[in-house]
Amino acid sequence: MAKKQVNCGIIGYGGAFNMGLHHSNSINQVEGMQVVAVCDVDKKRTAQAEQDLPGIVAYNDLKNLLKDDAVDLCVVILPHNLHAKIAIECSRAGKHVVVEKPMCVTTKEATAMIEAAKKADKVLTVFHNRRHDGDFKALRDAVRSGIIGDVFHVEMFMGNHSRPGDWWRSDKEISGGAFFDWGAHCLDWLLHIIDQKLDYVTGHFHKLVWDHVTNEDQVEASIRFQGGAVANIQMSSIAAAGKPRWRVLGTRGAIVDAGGQFTLHSFVDGIPVQGTIKYAESDWHAYYRDLGDHLLRGGELDVKPEQARRVIAIMDCAEKSHLTGKTVKVPFEE
């Protein structure tokens, strides 16, 4: 906490979505944080990083970056199946670690990552920056206000009927499966709408249409919480008809996503009424501001690794349920 600056190294500067530059720009906006190094196996990408971020040190071998004592924190922006291995290496090298979502692809990996960071006495956190999306912020604040009472049922949907791209994100062995992209964001949102411990997960996966990729065409999970609430989440690339992203039922009302705003269903003296909840403004740079506050000034860590592990556990349990035909108990919730 006595440090005045946290020097950051970006691991993976691939061209997809330009995420290396996105993270770097967000980090460099935070007082006391600075990107000082980039590592990528592709020399063309490190050359691009040197153009984008003048003054950085470029590495093409991770071992060399991890030996750099000037780097305090590593940001892992790699295919999902590499997250755990590389994050653990970073922790063992004495670095704080940020991992792009999803945290990893199995609950066992998530636990190993947490244990490695604890042993090194370093921070491990996951880039769940979408907690700062305007639509989610508005929904979360409305639920927390108590305006719809106690939430007992949530439905979430993301998808359409469209051919997936033929790249690593569509390769189940690398990506973890169809749940492990936007599903990670959705589940993190859900766990801030229903504030109860997880209980059981039932999963149903379909592979029916898109044979050119190995990810599932549709994944869905029914999640039961220990307090009695239930959630259903569906991610699909074969849904010819969509539905709202959010449908939240409470004991005194409901909130339904209407695109650009939410429709509030409530009661006044027993009479049903409808209102509108506007989306808040998004603030995606807040993730690194919060992290800087934690590392430099002792503020609370916003995205705790145990929270991110719960997200992985749901996806992990959903697949185990699908394969066995049985409902699966979620670990770590006793």
CATH number at residue 163: 3.30.360.10
Q: How many domains does the chain have?
A: 2
Are both 80 and 38 inside the same structural domain?
A: yes
Are both 19 and 72 inside the same structural domain?
A: yes
Q: Are the C-beta atoms of residues 123 and 201 closer than 8 Å to each other? A: no
DSSP for 249-284, please give it.
EETTEEEEE-SSEEEEEEEETTEEEEEEEE-----T
Are both 202 and 292 inside the same structural domain?
A: no
Place of tokens 């946290």: 6
Are both 186 and 273 inside the same structural domain?
A: yes
3-class state of residue 187 by DSSP: helix
Q: Are strands 218-225 and 253-257 parallel, antiparallel or unpaired?
A: unpaired
Are both 292 and 186 inside the same structural domain?
A: no
CA–CA gap between residue 262 and residue 53 (Å, rounded): 40
Residue 196 domain flag: yes
Are both 325 and 296 inside the same structural domain?
A: no
Which domain range does residue 45 map to?
Answer: 6-129+285-301
Distance of CA 3 to the CA centre of its chain: 28
Are both 296 and 277 inside the same structural domain?
A: no
Residues in the chain: 334
CB neighbour list of residue 291: distance below 8 Å, 6 or more residues apart: 30, 33, 98, 123, 125, 301, 302
Are both 18 and 108 inside the same structural domain?
A: yes
One digit per residue, the tens of pLDDT, for the chain of length 334 reads: 446 899 999 999 987 789 999 999 999 999 999 999 999 999 999 999 999 999 999 999 999 999 999 999 999 999 999 999 999 999 999 999 999 999 999 999 999 999 999 999 999 999 999 999 999 999 999 999 999 999 999 999 999 999 999 999 999 999 999 999 999 999 999 999 999 999 999 999 999 999 999 999 999 999 999 999 999 999 999 999 999 999 999 999 999 999 999 999 999 988 999 999 999 999 989 999 999 999 999 999 999 999 999 999 999 999 999 999 999 999 987 6
Are both 190 and 201 inside the same structural domain?
A: yes
Are both 137 and 116 inside the same structural domain?
A: no
Rounded to two decimals, the pTM is: 0.95
Residue 307 domain flag: no
